[in-house]
Structures are given as C-alpha cells and as structure tokens.
C-alpha cells in the first residue's frame, strides 16, 4: 500500500481528535466528553464568516476580501485571547489584524499583477476581453 493511501486512511480516522475526549475530573470521575464553553461561539462565527466570504462580491483586482485562512487566523486570535486580560487581548487582536491587513494588501497586489499579465497575454493573442460576449444571463 502506498504512503499516500495510508495517510488518507489515517486522516479519515482522525477527522475528530477523539483521543482528547476521555478525562478524569479531579482524578476521580471518568468522562468520555468535554464541554468547550467557547465551542458554539467559535462554530457560529466560523460558519457565519465562511458563508459571508462565499456570498461576497465578485473578486476583482481592486477589492479586498477575507480568505478562509485569514478568518482562521482571526478566530484563533479570538480563541487564544479569551482567558487573558484586556491589554493582552488587545495586543493579540492587533497583531492578528496587522497580519491579515498585510496579506490582504499583498493578495490585492498579486491579483492586480496577475490581471495585467493575463490581459497582456490575451492582447498578444489578439483577444480583447471587452469584445467578448458574456455567458452570464442578462437577468442576473
């Protein structure tokens, strides 16, 4: 069996990290579950944000938009900061925001560059995208 197949089988078995579930509360009571007080909030925020990204405006070189990785970064910062005092939370949030802003600006520059390069290639082939008919129905 190839290593890729073995890895795929193992990954499917670890879809959920069940080895973190069993615990002894105060060394006396055995539990097969854990209560994550922040779990529902986290799931709700992530689900809402992913839906927001999927339904957001069309990507153009000019627009900023969040990637799933940037949402994950923000959610991890929020989660990491929950038990900390306000000043520490603010520092963590600020660092995450700066990182996300950097990558948004970098992604925007990359999209613009890629768009211009693609237009130049098409022009060399004699294709003018402004003269192409749209395949999107007019009622949309």
93 within 8 A of 59, measured Cβ to Cβ? no
Within a domain: 20 = no
Who wins on pLDDT, 120 or 57? 120
- Count of domains forming the chain: 1
Inform me whether the pLDDT recorded for 63 exceeds 70. no
In a domain, 63, yes or no: yes
What are the pLDDT digits (tens) for 13-44?
Answer: 665 565 556 666 666 766 666 666 667 777 77
In a domain, 139, yes or no: no
Whether 16 is covered by a domain: the verdict is no
pLDDT at site 127: 87
Angle at alpha carbon of residue 65, lines to 61 and 70, rounded to 5°: 130
Domain membership of residue 99 as a residue range: 35-124
Mean pLDDT of the chain: 76
Is 111 inside a domain boundary?
yes
Q: Identify whether 9 is part of a domain.
A: no
Residues 6+ apart with CB under 8 A from 23: 30, 31, 34
Would you say residue 1 lies in a domain? no
Task: Tell me whether residue 58 is in a domain.
Answer: yes
């Amino acid at each position: 069996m190839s290593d890729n197949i073995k890895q795929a089988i193992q990954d499917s078995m670890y879809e959920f990290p069940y080895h973190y579930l069993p615990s002894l509360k105060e060394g006396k009571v055995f539990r097969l579950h854990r209560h994550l007080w922040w779990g529902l909030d986290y799931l709700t925020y992530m689900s809402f944000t992913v839906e927001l990204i999927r339904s957001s405006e069309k990507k153009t070189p000019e627009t900023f938009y969040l990637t799933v990785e940037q949402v994950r970064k923000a959610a991890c910062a929020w989660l990491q900061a929950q038990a900390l005092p306000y000043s520490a939370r603010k520092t963590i949030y600020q660092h995450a925001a700066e990182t996300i802003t950097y990558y948004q600006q970098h992604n925007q520059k990359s999209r613009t560059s890629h768009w211009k390069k693609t237009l130049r290639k098409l022009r060399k082939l004699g294709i003018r995208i402004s003269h192409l008919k749209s395949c999107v129905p007019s009622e949309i």
